[in-house]
Amino acid sequence: MSDPLKTWTAQEERTSLNSTGRPLTLAGLLESLGAPLLTPLTGSRGLAASISVPVIHDPLDPLPETPGGILLLVGMAPNHEALNDLIARAAEHGFGAVVVKNRGKAPDAAHLAHAALPVLVVDDQVPWLHLDNLITAVTSGRPAGSNAANSHGEDLFVLANALATATDGAVAIEDLDQNILAYSNLERHTVDPLRRSGILARQVPQMDKNADQYRSVMLTDSVVHFPYDPDDGELPRCAAPVRAGRQMLGSIWVIEDKATLGPDGEAAILEVARLAAIHILRSQNAVDLERQVRTEWLRSALEGHGSDPATSARFGLMEGVSPVLLGFKFAPLPAGKAPGSAFPLTRQLALAAEQYCSIFHPNVSAVESGTMVYVLVPAIGSEQAAMRLAGGASGAVAARLGCQVDVAVSSVEGSLLGLVELRRELEDVVRVLESPGPHRGAGRVVGTKEVNAALLLDQLERVLRSRPRLVHPGVRELLENDAASGTEYQSSLCAYFAATGDVALAARTLNVHPNTLRYRIKRATELFGLDFSTGDEQLALWVQLRVATGRTA
C-alpha cells in the first residue's frame, strides 16, 4: 500500500474498529428499518438526535447510563401511567429514544405529548431480542448476517478510514446496486447533503446523473474525477471501480473538497479498491453460502428428505411450537396485459418475501420451487398472527416489485414431520386460487380456512377421478345426457340442493319457472334412478354433481 496510507494513527484505527459506522440519527434508523417495524408516536420531535445502542430494559431494574441509547421497554404499554416518569429518568441517563408495544390498544397521543424523549412503537409480533439484533445491526453500520460477513464489513470500514486519512477526504465504498457498504467517519472531513443522505439511507440518492457517472467509473481501470455541481451542491469527488478480475463488484468514492488528488492519492484509491474487492467477495461468499445452505436444506425438508433433528436445529423448529409455511406466487396479469421488460423474477420475489418476514421473525428461510416461493417461519403465535404477517408481506412485496402477489398460508400446526404436509396444503390452496370461481382475485392472502369447502371438493374430485366406480351410475348417465342432448339436469339439481330444497329460490337462481324446475327434478329421478329420500343420498349426489365436471353449478 502507498506511504500515505501508512500514516494513519493508532487512535484512528481504534476509532474505525470500535465504531464501524458513525452513529445514526433516530430518523436514519427509522429509514433503515422501514415503517412496518417502528413507528414514531410523538411526531418528528427528536428524530434528529444521534443514537447509539439498544438496551432491553425491565422497569423494575435500575437504568444504566447510556448516551444515545434506545430503551426497549419490556412490559410497558404506551398508556401506562408510569411511562412518562420512566422516560424522564431515561432522558437524565442520556438515552435518545424509547420503544414500547401497543399490546392491542390504541396509544393516547395526549398522554405522550410532553414526553421527554421520542417514543416509538414496535409491532406486537416482533420479539424484543429480534428487534435488539436489528437495531444493533443498523447502529453498528453493517447488515445483520453471519459473523464472517460482519467481520469483512468491519474490514471495509477500516479501509475507508485508512483511505480517508491518506487522501484527506470523506470516503464511501458501494456495491453494484449503489448500496453503501462502508464509509469513513473522521469528523474533520467535509461532506455534502448528498453524502449525508446516502449514509443515513445506506443507499446512494437516486439522481438523473447517476447513470452517466457510474458508467464512466465502470468503463475505466483508473480514477475518474467529477467537478463541483452547482445544481445540487455536490462537492467535487473522484471514484474508481472495485473489480475482481473481470467481475465488477462496486466502486469507491472520495470527496475532493480541498484539492484534486494527485498521483499518490489516485494510487492509494486503486490499492484500496484492490483490497476492498477481496473483502466484498469474502463477505458475499459467506452470506451467499449460508443462504444457499439454508435454501437447499429447506427444499430437501419440504420434499421429505434429510434428518429431522438436524433440520429442526438448522431452522429453529421446536417441539410444541408451531411453524407456518407461506407460499408466494405472482398474481395473474389482467387479460390482454403483457409483463413489462422489468417484470420481476421469482428470485426477486423470494428475496423480497424473506426480507420482509425477517423483520418480524428470526430464522426465516425461503426457497424457490417453479413459480412458487416458500417461506418458512419457524415459530408463530396463532393463525391470526400468520395471516397478519402474510397480509403485510403481500402489500410490501407488491409495492417493492410493482406487481400483485398471491399468498397462501398453511395451517398453524404440526412440527418438523408436518413440513411436507404443509407444502401440500399450500399447493392445494394455490390450485384453488387458480381455478375459476368467487375466490379468484389479484393479490389475495388466503389460508386453508378461507377455502376449506373448495379444498374439500378438490380432494373429492381427485378421489372420484382416480376411483370412477364411486360415481353413481345414474350421475354418469345424467351427465352424458346433458352433454349429448343439451339438457340441464346437472345445473338444475345443483341449484335445488344449494337452496336446501327451496324450489322457488332455486328457480329464481336458474331464471326458470318453479314448475319447470319441479318437472326437471321429477324427470331426473325417473330417467336416472336417483334417490333424494335421505340427507346422505342428497349430500352424496350433490357432491358428485358438483365435482364431476370441475365443480360447475
Beta bridge partners of 180: 174
If one compares 235 and 546, the residue with the highest pLDDT of the two is 235
Pairing of strands 171-175, 247-255: antiparallel
List the strands of the sheet with 180-183, edge to edge.
180-183, 171-175, 247-255, 237-244, 224-226
Please report which confidence band the pLDDT of residue 421 belongs to, taking 50, 70 and 90 as the band edges: confident
- For the chain, give the mean pLDDT: 78
Please report the DSSP string for 485-529 in residue order. H---HHHHHHHHHHTTT-HHHHHHHHTS-HHHHHHHHHHHHHHH-
CA angle at residue 536 from 531 to 539, to 5 degrees?
Answer: 85
**Is residue 277 within 8 Å of residue 243, measured between CB atoms?**
yes
Query: How high is the pLDDT of residue 255?
Result: 93
Query: How high is the pLDDT of residue 441?
Result: 54
Length of the chain counted residue by residue: 553
CA angle at residue 270 from 269 to 276, to 5 degrees?
Answer: 85
Across 301-393, the runs of DSSP E, i.e. the strands, are 324-330, 365-369, 372-377
CA distance 391 to 260: 52
Cell numbers standing for residue 435: 381455478
Cell numbers standing for residue 60: 423494575
- Model pLDDT for residues 275-323, shown as the tens digit of each residue: 888 888 777 665 555 666 777 778 888 887 755 666 666 676 666 667 8
- Model pLDDT for residues 93-139, shown as the tens digit of each residue: 889 999 998 887 777 777 777 889 999 988 777 788 878 877 876 76
Name the burial class of residue 540, with classes exposed (0-12), middle (13-18) and buried (19+) by CB atoms within 10 angstroms of its CB: middle
| Fold observed for domain 464-547 | Arc Repressor Mutant, subunit A (1.10.10)
User: Percent of the chain at pLDDT above 90?
Assistant: 12
Query: How high is the pLDDT of residue 288?
Result: 59
Please report which confidence band the pLDDT of residue 148 belongs to, taking 50, 70 and 90 as the band edges: very low
- Of 3.30.450.40, 2.60.120.260, 2.40.30.60, 1.20.1090.10, the CATH number of 143-285 is 3.30.450.40
Query: How high is the pLDDT of residue 99?
Result: 92
Query: How high is the pLDDT of residue 270?
Result: 92
Query: How high is the pLDDT of residue 145?
Result: 41
- Of 3.40.30.10, 2.102.10.10, 3.30.56.10, 3.30.70.270, the CATH number of 317-450 is 3.30.70.270
Domain boundaries, given as residue ranges, for the chain:
26-139, 143-285, 317-450, 464-547
Query: How high is the pLDDT of residue 335?
Result: 57
CA distance 423 to 553: 30
List the strands of the sheet with 324-330, edge to edge.
365-369, 372-377, 324-330, 405-409, 445-447
If one compares 242 and 299, the residue with the highest pLDDT of the two is 242
Amino acid at 506: A
CA distance 307 to 310: 5
- Which of 163-177, 437-451, 477-491 comes out lowest in average pLDDT? 437-451
CA distance 23 to 464: 65
DSSP 3-state assignment of 195? helix
3-state secondary structure 79-117: CCCCHHHHHHHHHHCCCCEEEEECCCCCCCHHHHCCCCC
Instruction: Give the DSSP letter of residue 317.
Output: -
Neighbours of 172 (CB within 10 A): 23
If one compares 313 and 155, the residue with the highest pLDDT of the two is 155
Beta bridge partners of 73: 57
CA distance 542 to 218: 68
Most confident of 361-365, 371-375, 420-424: 371-375
Residue (of 271, 262, 404) closest to 332 by Cα position: 404
**Is residue 144 within 8 Å of residue 137, measured between CB atoms?**
yes
* Exposure string over 272-298, b if 16+ CB within 10 A, otherwise e: bbebbbebbeebeebbeeebeebbebb
Pairing of strands 247-255, 237-244: antiparallel
User: Which contiguous run of DSSP H or E holds residue 40?
Assistant: strand 38-40
- Model pLDDT for residues 491-536, shown as the tens digit of each residue: 888 888 878 788 888 888 888 898 888 888 888 887 888 877 777 7
Q: Check pLDDT > 60 for residue 15.
A: no
- pTM score: 0.49
Amino acid at 170: A
**Is residue 182 within 8 Å of residue 19, measured between CB atoms?**
no
The whole-number average pLDDT for the span 87-96 is 90
Query: How high is the pLDDT of residue 239?
Result: 95
Instruction: For the chain, give the longest Cα–Cα distance.
Output: 103
**Is residue 299 within 8 Å of residue 360, measured between CB atoms?**
no
Q: Does domain 26-139 sit in CATH 3.40.50.720?
A: no
The residue assigned the cell 346422505 is 536
User: Percent of the chain at pLDDT above 70?
Assistant: 79
In 3-state terms the chain splits into helix, strand, coil percentages (rounded to 5) of 50, 15, 35
Cell numbers standing for residue 461: 374430485
- Model pLDDT for residues 207-240, shown as the tens digit of each residue: 888 888 888 898 888 999 999 999 888 999 999 9
List the strands of the sheet with 97-101, edge to edge.
38-40, 119-122, 97-101, 70-73, 54-57
DSSP 3-state assignment of 444? coil
The whole-number average pLDDT for the span 53-65 is 86
Q: Check pLDDT > 80 for residue 343.
A: no
> At 328, phi and psi to the nearest 5?
-105, 140
- Which of 94-108, 139-153, 181-195, 410-424 comes out lowest in average pLDDT? 139-153
